[in-house]
Amino acid sequence: MDAVRSLIQEVEILKSKKQFDKAIDLLQESLLKNSDDYRLYEEIADIYLYEGKMAKAKKAIDFALNINSESATGNYLKWFILLANNKIVDAIEYLEKSNHLMPNNAEVLRNLGWAYSMTGEPQKGIFILKRALNISPDDKLINEDLAMALIGVGKIKEWNAILKRIGKDQITI
């Protein structure tokens, strides 16, 4: 395993413990030797997202994507940053690219389906959410997003079936 991958695993542990400052310090130290490794900038962006520092997250992810525009993770993080800034239509481009680079990733598909549902293309969103659900049938977030997309187009019976499957109260209309 390369040194950067090992460092990223260590950073992931620190993030899970909410030791963000220590994680940033490790990443910045590593950047002295590996300044052209986009993965380090992606990790920095991810930490800033956790902390709600959107401007810093955007700067880090833009730098990462400048180094490697074909990073599925980088494009996914850029989507998230744009979404946080209420630029959902612009953000879809990055999510589509992430999906292209990392096909059949349930999390990416869930967010892509939700994004289309929220931007006036509910049928496309539902189709994509169903793909995500086929990949990860027990994922509660996918089920909830699909249920909401279905109710948005008046498919109450399908919506209730999903709610029943995940143990939520059903509605009658």
How does DSSP assign 101-147, residue by residue? HSTT-HHHHHHHHHHHHHTT-HHHHHHHHHHHHHH-TT-HHHHHHHH
- Average pLDDT over the chain, rounded to whole? 89
Residue that terminates a domain, selected from 103, 135, 154: 103
Q: 118 with 98, same domain? A: no
Where in the sequence is the domain holding 10, given as residue range(s)? 1-103
Q: 96 with 40, same domain? A: yes
Q: 23 with 71, same domain? A: yes
Q: How many angstroms separate the CA atoms of 132 and 11, rounded?
A: 28
How many structural domains compose the chain? 2
Residue that terminates a domain, selected from 43, 73, 103: 103
pLDDT band, very low/low/confident/very high, at 56 (cuts 50, 70, 90): very high
Helix (H, G, I), strand (E, B) or coil at 22: helix
Q: 90 with 7, same domain? A: yes
pLDDT band, very low/low/confident/very high, at 127 (cuts 50, 70, 90): very high
Q: 44 with 89, same domain? A: yes
